[in-house]
A and B are shown apart, each in its own frame.
Chain A
């Protein structure tokens, strides 16, 4: 204690020891990509193929607003070449401390390995004028659930392909070819989805949270109300009564909710209105059979069209 220099020398030696015992990053050929959500992981896999190793942090059935920044995530982030996030403050409650603690300079904000996918997407519900928390947990930069629009899926894939090419120029042709192939398959799938949803274009629906504006816009649905009185605020009796009256007045029968919300209030609304609660999956992996971005829309559109048929 009397000789701090000795302690500094000890600390330095300890640091060197740790550095030595830590296995150096293998000179792996593949780019290591970590995404916050499974949807971005799926899009990255589509474009990156076998030239990338992709892992997502949150699970597909988890509320992406409330993810615990677990230390086990640091093990994934620590050696990542590229971090892809949704942005628009969706991950603000859990991602920043992980990035700081990761000790990985590649994925720090503004570093080349930090990619905010929102820059490639069409963003809806950007608040105009002053934003206050009296409006609930509002996202000041716009609605972050933008990946639920196949057009945005295509744009994000394009953006990811550009980033992969920038980081691995030798595989430019491979990434370009995969991105074009994905775009083609997505266009074909979208034609099928549009055909399935065609009879229901213009239908009015309500949703629990403001998670579906991009989905609704793409497939021509009209969201007229929300089960939450304000974003992030649980349903209140007075708001529920207002919503029931609105649904009866507008003859709305469909309530879209995410798997992580309580179905109690939506089901009581459905009983009062003769409607139906449809638990849609907002992300890849929400169900075991939803293994990629295509299957996400296959699943959601199948259960939604079925619900429309049942409530006609």
Chain B
């Protein structure tokens, strides 16, 4: 109620002052100007008070002021008269004991995180002899919970509800106020390997992920693991932006990495170079490396190398109507596997070729926005198999996307895939995506 008292007080002050001034104002033009100025000042003060009320309402009740130099656990007694500022910031319900989770009651409501849900419904038709998809599926419902924790950190949680289970897609804390410009994260997160691996399903420009992601980088889940991440902007020549991300994970990610013991961590490094070519276009280049232990045991490792390039064209004056994004990723996977002899002793997956495997894959795609809510795209895919690199899959897709609004999307995709140079799949998909609530913007 305190903000309202300030507002009412301000209004009374304004009314009284204006009335008094009007009564006393002589007819001289200088005095009229002075009076106008006075009224303007009072109006400004009122508008400022309204702004403060808005901000206080948005923030909700504040916790009591803490004296950092001389903390006191003693409760406030009636004899202690708070200052006006303290009175504004204090809430009768706020407990003196600091506890994890912060305030309760009304404050808890005001301080709730931004909550969002993104639905992803896919209907499929056609024939795929190797990887058939259901005719209809509620592929994913991603719940996002995002908030600033304190002046030094924020937290983001993305929980993915499928038809058959729940998965913590990401859940991490980001330390935003570290010295020397570092940004650190800890928790479970998508690794900064290339581009597609970092993207949630709902921001992909396709219904599916490219073959190279499926065959070599763990498919839909990708490298998504618990660990820590450090990011730092590096000095760069000219107008280049250079950024390095180093990450250490537990070492469990889809079929890429398996941690047999605590020491089997995996690491990811990503160097990003970015440059604005013009106001309307830019180039984004990346080099990635990742290493970890694979499912054959602690003595066997997998190395991933990647390069990615993205070109954006978006004329700023017409940016809501026209744009183009061309992107490509090249990925190499080197995997140590048991020899044929070893496979007679330990159990190896079916069709696993023995020995050292070097697999390669890439995709290239272009997406052109030709109207305010329409996008047309195409993608070319090729990838070796991770466990038997002599076998490779190829494919291509055509994609048409329509946005009824900023919060819903309808996408059609035709996909042709030739598996192992033998099996052809022709499929068509319709995808509906829809967003509820406040879903935080994603990095560029």
A299 contacts partner chain B, Cβ-Cβ < 8 Å: no
How distant is the Cα of A312 from the Cα of B301 in the complex, in angstroms? 79
How distant is the Cα of A94 from the Cα of B48 in the complex, in angstroms? 27
> In the complex, what residues of B have CB within 8 A of residue A71's CB?
241, 243, 272, 274, 284, 444
**Stretch from B9-17, B201-209, B261-269 at the A interface:** B261-269
* CB 8 Å contact bits of A236-275 with B (1 = contact, 0 = none): 0000000000000000000000011110000000000000
**Stretch from B49-57, B343-351, B353-361 at the A interface:** B49-57
A21 contacts partner chain B, Cβ-Cβ < 8 Å: yes
Which 10 residue pairs are nearest across A and B when measured between Cβ atoms?
A105-B177, A119-B51, A103-B181, A19-B180, A71-B274, A71-B241, A97-B443, A62-B316, A103-B183, A18-B232
Asked whether A15 and B232 contact (CB < 8 A) given A62-B316, A68-B314, the answer is yes
The contact sample of 18 A-B pairs, CB cut-off 8 A, is: A1-B263, A1-B301, A2-B263, A4-B248, A11-B246, A22-B235, A59-B279, A71-B272, A71-B444, A74-B241, A78-B181, A92-B441, A101-B443, A102-B183, A136-B405, A141-B54, A154-B44, A234-B373
How distant is the Cα of A102 from the Cα of B444 in the complex, in angstroms? 13
B130 contacts partner chain A, Cβ-Cβ < 8 Å: no
**Stretch from B63-71, B72-80, B216-224, B318-326 at the A interface:** B318-326
> In the complex, what residues of B have CB within 8 A of residue A92's CB?
438, 441
How distant is the Cα of A48 from the Cα of B272 in the complex, in angstroms? 35
> In the complex, what residues of B have CB within 8 A of residue A111's CB?
151, 177
Indicate if the CB atoms of A62 and B319 lie closer than 8 Å: yes
Residues of A within 8 A of B (CB): 1-4, 7-8, 11, 14-15, 18-19, 21-23, 59, 61-63, 66, 68-72, 74-75, 78, 92-97, 99-105, 108-111, 116, 118-123, 133, 136-137, 141-142, 151, 154-155, 158-159, 232-234, 259-262
> In the complex, what residues of A have CB within 8 A of residue B8's CB?
none
How distant is the Cα of A104 from the Cα of B282 in the complex, in angstroms? 24
Indicate if the CB atoms of A119 and B441 lie closer than 8 Å: no
Indicate if the CB atoms of B47 and A21 lie closer than 8 Å: no
Asked whether A262 and B230 contact (CB < 8 A) given A96-B441, A103-B176, the answer is no
Among B50, B438, B444, find the residue whose CB has the most chain A CB atoms closer than 10 A.
B444
* CB 8 Å contact bits of B167-200 with A (1 = contact, 0 = none): 0000000101111111100000000000000000
| CB < 8 Å neighbour of A262 from B174, B176, B282, B372 | B372
How distant is the Cα of A63 from the Cα of B262 in the complex, in angstroms? 50
| CB < 8 Å neighbour of A100 from B154, B265, B444 | B154
Indicate if the CB atoms of A122 and B50 lie closer than 8 Å: yes
Residues of B within 8 A of A (CB): 40, 43-44, 47-48, 50-52, 54-55, 58, 148, 151-152, 154, 174, 176-183, 230-235, 239, 241, 243-244, 246, 248, 262-265, 267, 272, 274-276, 279, 282, 284, 291-293, 298, 301, 312, 314, 316-321, 372-373, 405-407, 438, 440-444
> In the complex, what residues of B have CB within 8 A of residue A102's CB?
176, 183
Indicate if the CB atoms of B291 and A75 lie closer than 8 Å: no
> In the complex, what residues of B have CB within 8 A of residue A151's CB?
40, 43
How distant is the Cα of A133 from the Cα of B230 in the complex, in angstroms? 37
B36–chain A nearest beta-carbon distance, Å: 9
A147–chain B nearest beta-carbon distance, Å: 13
How distant is the Cα of A122 from the Cα of B442 in the complex, in angstroms? 31
Minimum CB distance partner of B312 in chain A = A68
How distant is the Cα of A42 from the Cα of B313 in the complex, in angstroms? 28
How distant is the Cα of A96 from the Cα of B444 in the complex, in angstroms? 11
How distant is the Cα of A100 from the Cα of B230 in the complex, in angstroms? 13
Indicate if the CB atoms of B282 and A70 lie closer than 8 Å: yes
Minimum CB distance partner of A232 in chain B = B406
| CB < 8 Å neighbour of B405 from A21, A232, A261 | A232
How distant is the Cα of A232 from the Cα of B405 in the complex, in angstroms? 8
Indicate if the CB atoms of A97 and B372 lie closer than 8 Å: no
Indicate if the CB atoms of B151 and A110 lie closer than 8 Å: yes
Indicate if the CB atoms of A108 and B319 lie closer than 8 Å: no
A155–chain B nearest beta-carbon distance, Å: 5
Indicate if the CB atoms of B233 and A104 lie closer than 8 Å: no
Indicate if the CB atoms of A21 and B241 lie closer than 8 Å: no
A22–chain B nearest beta-carbon distance, Å: 6
B377–chain A nearest beta-carbon distance, Å: 18
Minimum CB distance partner of B180 in chain A = A19
Indicate if the CB atoms of B248 and A155 lie closer than 8 Å: no
> In the complex, what residues of A have CB within 8 A of residue B282's CB?
70, 72
How distant is the Cα of A109 from the Cα of B440 in the complex, in angstroms? 15
How distant is the Cα of A105 from the Cα of B179 in the complex, in angstroms? 8
Indicate if the CB atoms of A109 and B148 lie closer than 8 Å: yes
Indicate if the CB atoms of A8 and B317 lie closer than 8 Å: no
Minimum CB distance partner of B156 in chain A = A100
- 9 more contacts with CB within 8 A, not counting A18-B234, A66-B319, A71-B243, are A72-B276, A94-B441, A105-B177, A120-B48, A137-B405, A141-B54, A142-B54, A232-B405, A260-B320
How distant is the Cα of A65 from the Cα of B54 in the complex, in angstroms? 22
> In the complex, what residues of A have CB within 8 A of residue B443's CB?
69, 97, 101
> In the complex, what residues of A have CB within 8 A of residue B176's CB?
99-100, 102-103, 105, 108
Minimum CB distance partner of B178 in chain A = A103
> In the complex, what residues of A have CB within 8 A of residue B231's CB?
101, 103
Indicate if the CB atoms of A234 and B372 lie closer than 8 Å: yes
Indicate if the CB atoms of A108 and B151 lie closer than 8 Å: yes
Asked whether A7 and B148 contact (CB < 8 A) given A22-B232, A71-B243, the answer is no
Indicate if the CB atoms of B183 and A101 lie closer than 8 Å: yes
> In the complex, what residues of A have CB within 8 A of residue B406's CB?
137, 232
Among A11, A21, A93, A142, find the residue whose CB has the most chain B CB atoms closer than 10 A.
A11
Asked whether A119 and B55 contact (CB < 8 A) given A105-B177, A158-B44, A259-B317, the answer is yes
A217–chain B nearest beta-carbon distance, Å: 13
How distant is the Cα of A170 from the Cα of B310 in the complex, in angstroms? 47
> In the complex, what residues of A have CB within 8 A of residue B265's CB?
1, 4, 7
Indicate if the CB atoms of B244 and A18 lie closer than 8 Å: yes
How distant is the Cα of A206 from the Cα of B151 in the complex, in angstroms? 43
How distant is the Cα of A27 from the Cα of B370 in the complex, in angstroms? 48
B192–chain A nearest beta-carbon distance, Å: 12
Asked whether A1 and B178 contact (CB < 8 A) given A14-B246, A70-B276, the answer is no
B156–chain A nearest beta-carbon distance, Å: 9
Indicate if the CB atoms of B440 and A75 lie closer than 8 Å: no
Indicate if the CB atoms of B233 and A133 lie closer than 8 Å: no
How distant is the Cα of A103 from the Cα of B241 in the complex, in angstroms? 14
| CB < 8 Å neighbour of A3 from B179, B263, B293 | B263
Indicate if the CB atoms of A155 and B44 lie closer than 8 Å: yes
Indicate if the CB atoms of B235 and A23 lie closer than 8 Å: yes
> In the complex, what residues of B have CB within 8 A of residue A259's CB?
317
> In the complex, what residues of A have CB within 8 A of residue B183's CB?
100-103
Minimum CB distance partner of B272 in chain A = A71
